[in-house]
Amino acid sequence: MGKAKRRVERATSRSALVHTAVTVGCALVAMMLVLVWSAASGHECTKPHASYCLGTGRFVLAIAPTAVLLVGGVSALLRAYRMWKANGPWQVWQGVGWGLLTLMVVYLTVSGRVLLPE
């Protein structure tokens, strides 16, 4: 393997790692903003520990980070496709895309409980 190919693969891996970190960070920020917004809304909660009492807050808490992870996963898979068409190192991007989509499904499964009626 030549130096140029290793350099391209290293740069691809670095950009995939940055893409993953930014996507997960944005999902966490979205989750925290929804929690702060729901807690600051001033409505009384029937559950003392629940900061997501409003119906809208509960819905957004489940959907906003899920949407961020979905966009990140799909964009990584699109990047993998473009790299594949250009005969570049696409495997890293495919791994990132499927990893983000798996994380999205796990988050939606765990946070889906807030969508259930009390």
Q: Where are the domains of the chain?
A: 3-115
What are the tens digits of pLDDT across the range 13-52?
999 999 999 999 999 999 898 888 777 766 555 555 555 5
| The amino acid at 37 | W
Residue 101 has pLDDT above 90, yes or no: yes
Residue 14: burial class (beta carbons within 10 Å; 0-12, 13-18, 19+) = exposed
pLDDT at 44: 55
Please report, for the chain, how many H helices and E strands are present, in that order.
3, 0
Distance in angstroms (rounded) separating the CA atoms of residues 4 and 90:
16
DSSP letter for each residue of 12-50: HHHHHHHHHHHHHHHHHHHHHHHHHHHHTT----SSTT-
Please give the backbone phi and psi of residue 53, each rounded to the nearest 5 degrees, phi first. -75, -35
What are the tens digits of pLDDT across the range 39-86?
776 655 555 555 555 567 778 888 999 999 999 999 999 999 999 999
- Computed over every residue of the chain, the mean pLDDT equals 85
pLDDT at 55: 67
Percentage with pLDDT > 70 across the chain: 84
Residue 95 has pLDDT above 80, yes or no: yes
